[in-house]
């Protein structure tokens, strides 16, 4: 199911609000030198891709998401404590963390990146809607090691320039796709990390078959596994069966939010998902 042409979706509204936020940032250009200087001033970058390649638990490696709310689910965890959640994820065996920083739609905050970074040693992905170089600088300043670029919301030249700038500066980039056309656009960047979002961000419909379909297409387009990006299956993963399903399809990592954040027993939930219980 796709959103009917011309119908305004929540994703359109999110992007519009993001453009308003960006317009309030100081007007400036951001160069690779600016990003490198900000990284140097921060003191360290944690290797996001490296952590996915040698996870404490798995494969697949777990990218555990710190998220209070979402447009599709509303408030997921009313008693939200990002630092406590992040510490539990680290102790439970997550390889990396994804931290929602969007405020209006996910009740996230850039401040969470800084607080989580001080509390754990894991590499951090800034999960937001990045459209502008100034958001890359902001991501570094607040503590991200990796950023998300969503192909669906970026024209190709901008996708390419944001990707190249971030990579040249030393950040990891998770390039996210949801269909075959977006996959081909993503592969033109030669990304190290490719995310397949099982959730259609326009309709919120979730289908793990998306990972299966796009993983097959990826194998056709990149037959040599050594040249293939690491594949991250994102969204809609709720059970051990789901994990095994996307792993069988070829996922190197899984990005899980809601099913962890809803749980009253986070360590138990991680053990269950990662096949460590029983
Ligand atoms: O989750 C949403 O409702 C949503 C809506 C619009 C844009 C993005 C959205 N989610 C971002 C994500 O992709 C998920 O937070 C992430 O993949 C984890 O998914 P889940 O395990 O299903 O919480």
Please determine, for the modelled complex, whether the ipTM score is greater than 0.90. yes
pLDDT tens digit at each of 278 positions of the chain? 455 667 889 999 999 999 999 999 999 999 999 999 999 999 889 999 999 999 999 999 999 999 999 999 999 999 999 999 999 999 999 999 999 999 999 999 999 999 999 999 999 999 999 999 999 999 999 999 999 999 999 999 999 999 999 999 999 999 999 999 999 999 999 999 999 999 999 999 999 999 999 999 999 999 999 999 999 999 999 999 999 999 999 999 999 999 999 999 999 999 999 999 76
Residue among 70, 98, 139, 235 flagged as catalytic: 235
CB atoms within 10 A of CB 133: 22
Peptide bond into 59 cis (omega under 30): yes
Peptide bond into 60 cis (omega under 30): yes
Residue that the structure tokens 């503590």 belong to: 143
pTM tops 0.90, yes or no: yes
Distance CA 273, CA 250 (A): 17
Residue that the structure tokens 């996922």 belong to: 251
Q: Whose CA is nearest to atom 17 of ligand 1?
A: 235
Residue among 138, 197, 198, 212 flagged as catalytic: 197
Atom of ligand 1 nearest to the CA of 261: 23
- CB-defined site of ligand 1, < 6 Å: 10-11, 65, 67, 70-72, 197, 199, 201, 204, 234-237, 255-259
161 flagged as catalytic: no
Residue that the structure tokens 């030669």 belong to: 190
CB atoms within 10 A of CB 219: 15
Residue that the structure tokens 């670029």 belong to: 149
Torsion of CA 64, 156, 33, 14, to 10 degrees: -50
Q: Which CATH class is domain 43-204+213-273?
A: alpha beta
What does the H/E/C string look like for the chain?
A: CCCCCCCCCHHHHHHHHHHHHHHCCCCCCCCHHHHHHHHHHHCCCCCHHHHHHCCCCCCCEEEEEECCEECCCEECCCCCCHHHHHHHHHHHCCCEEEEECCCCCCCCCHHHHHHHHHHCCCCEEEECCCCCHHHHHHHHHHCCCEEEEEHHHCCHHHHHHHHHHHHHHCCEEEEEECCHHHHHHHHCCCCCEEEEECECCCCCCECCHHHHHHHHHHHHHCCCHHHCCEEEEECCCCCHHHHHHHHHHCCCEEEECHHHHCCCCHHHHHHHHCCCCC
Q: Whose CA is nearest to atom 6 of ligand 1?
A: 201
Tokens of 48: 């996001």
């Amino acid at each position: 199911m796709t959103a009917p042409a011309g119908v305004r979706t929540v994703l359109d509204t999110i992007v519009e609000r993001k453009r308003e936020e960006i317009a309030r940032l100081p007007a400036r250009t951001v160069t690779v030198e600016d990003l490198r200087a900000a990284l140097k001033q921060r003191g360290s970058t944690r290797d996001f891709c490296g952590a996915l390649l040698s996870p404490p638990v798995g494969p697949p490696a777990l990218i555990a998401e710190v998220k209070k709310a979402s447009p599709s689910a509303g408030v997921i965890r009313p008693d939200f404590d990002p630092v406590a959640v992040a510490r539990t994820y680290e102790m439970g065996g997550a390889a990396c963390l994804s931290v929602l920083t969007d405020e209006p739609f996910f009740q996230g905050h850039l401040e969470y990146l800084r607080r989580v970074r001080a509390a754990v040693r894991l590499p951090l992905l800034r999960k937001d809607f990045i459209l502008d170089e100034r958001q890359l600088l902001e991501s570094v300043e607040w503590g991200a090691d990796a950023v998300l670029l969503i192909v669906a919301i970026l024209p190709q030249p901008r996708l390419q320039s944001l990707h190249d700038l971030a990579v040249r500066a030393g950040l990891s980039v998770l390039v996210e796709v949801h269909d075959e056309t977006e996959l081909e656009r993503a592969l033109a960047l030669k990304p190290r990390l490719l995310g397949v979002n099982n959730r259609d961000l326009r309709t919120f419909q979730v289908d793990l078959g998306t990972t299966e379909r796009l993983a097959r297409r990826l194998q056709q387009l990149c037959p040599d596994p050594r040249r293939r990006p690491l594949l991250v299956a994102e969204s809609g993963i709720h059970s051990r069966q789901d994990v095994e399903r996307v792993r069988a399809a070829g996922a190197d990592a899984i990005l899980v939010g809601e099913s962890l954040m809803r749980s009253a027993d986070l360590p138990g939930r991680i053990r269950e998902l990662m096949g460590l219980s029983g």
